[in-house]
Each structure stands twice: as structure tokens, then as C-alpha cells.
């Protein structure tokens, strides 16, 4: 299947709703509530206003949203930035977060996984990143994502990090701009 990629830095209202729906289907399954959908849409909308926001969607040839990815410049005072700072030592914060792109979400419709869409969105986002480093987190048990990122040159900064909750530890990964070329694999 051939995909079209569209730069969605300026989400239209309909696109934002589609992205929030796909977010919920991807990360919560098909049984999500309207409250969860509204919270996802509100959070994504907030992120689109952050400095350095870059967002891309992948649509099939019929125009159906099948994937999205986005991130933004990591700045002191942001919620997730604060959570990351608590997990890293002073040197790690200085190195990884001082001029950093937070690679926030990469979501692919479950019916379209393992088709190269995630890899393409990953690469296209990083092609636009002007910062020295990039960081992301994923669940400790999300081996497919961890393997994808490691194969693209990301390094584990910290394993089993209780970034949001001690009940759901995450892996913090980082990519140095000197290694951005390796993500093209």
C-alpha cells in the first residue's frame, strides 16, 4: 500500500478529532469513552501550540488517517519536561534536554502496523528537527517500539523510569543530532 504524508503542523478541527480518535484506538483499544476522547483531543490541541511543534499524519489513498506523529521543543516548565528532569541526573538533563525535541507520539492504526508507516513518519519528523537532541519515552514492555527506535540509533538513557507512574514504568530514549543520519535505516 502506498501512503501519502501530509504536514499537519496546522491541524484543522476535523483532523484533530481524527488524530485524537486514532490516539485512543491505538493506546486504549476500541473501548474508550467520550471523556477519554475529549481529554486526548484537548491534550493534542494544547501540544500543537507549543514552540517548535511538528506534526505529520499518514493517510491511505482513500484519505483515511492511518498514522500520526508529533513533537515539539522541550522547554523548562512544560509538564513532561519536568517529569523527565526528575528521572535524569544533572549531566543527563544538561546534555539531553538543553536543546531538545520531545518526540511525543507515534501512533499507527492497528490494522496498518508493520508496514513501514511508523518508520516513515519517524524519519519525516526528524528531517524537520533543528535541535541538538531528541528524547522520547515508551512503555518498558513495548518491545516493537523500543526495537524500532534502537534500530534507528536511539540510545537508552534510563530503563524502568517511573516518569508518570511507578505502576507503568517507561524507557527514556535519546537521539543525538550527530546520529540523526542513522535513523534513515
Task: Answer whether 0.75 is exceeded by the pTM.
Answer: yes
> What are 48-74's pLDDT values in tens digits?
889 999 988 888 887 888 889 999 999
Q: Could you tell me the domains of the chain?
A: 4-184 (3.40.630.30)
Task: Please state, in angstroms and rounded to a whole number, the distance separating the CA atoms of residues 37 and 5.
Answer: 24
Of all residues in the chain, the percent with pLDDT exceeding 90 is 49
CA dist 32 → 23, 35, 124, 130 (Å): 10, 8, 29, 36
Angle (nearest 5°) at CA 131 between 58 and 173: 70
Beta bridge partners of 133: 100, 176
> What are 72-126's pLDDT values in tens digits?
999 999 999 999 999 999 999 999 999 999 999 999 988 888 888 888 899 889 9
Amino acid at each position: 500500500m502506498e501512503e501519502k504524508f501530509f504536514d499537519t503542523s496546522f491541524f484543522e478541527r476535523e483532523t484533530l478529532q481524527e488524530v485524537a480518535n486514532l490516539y485512543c484506538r491505538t493506546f486504549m483499544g476500541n473501548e474508550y469513552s467520550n471523556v477519554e476522547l475529549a481529554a486526548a483531543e484537548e491534550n493534542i490541541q494544547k501540544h500543537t501550540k507549543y514552540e517548535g511543534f511538528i506534526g505529520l499524519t499518514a493517510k491511505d489513498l482513500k484519505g483515511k488517517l492511518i498514522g500520526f506523529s508529533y513533537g515539539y521543543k522541550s522547554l523548562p516548565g512544560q509538564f513532561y519536561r519536568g517529569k523527565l528532569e526528575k528521572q535524569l541526573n544533572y549531566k543527563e538533563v544538561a546534555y539531553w534536554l538543553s536543546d531538545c525535541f520531545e518526540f511525543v507520539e507515534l501512533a499507527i492504526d492497528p490494522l496498518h502496523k508493520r508496514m513501514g508507516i511508523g518508520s516513515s513518519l519517524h524519519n519525516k519528523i526528524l528531517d524537520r528537527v533543528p535541535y541538538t537532541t531528541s528524547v522520547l519515552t515508551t512503555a518498558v514492555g513495548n518491545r516493537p517500539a523500543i526495537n524500532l527506535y534502537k534500530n534507528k540509533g536511539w540510545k537508552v538513557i534510563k530503563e524502568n523510569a517511573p516518569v508518570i507512574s511507578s505502576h507503568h514504568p517507561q524507557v527514556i530514549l535519546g537521539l543525538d543530532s550527530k546520529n540523526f543520519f542513522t535513523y534513515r535505516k
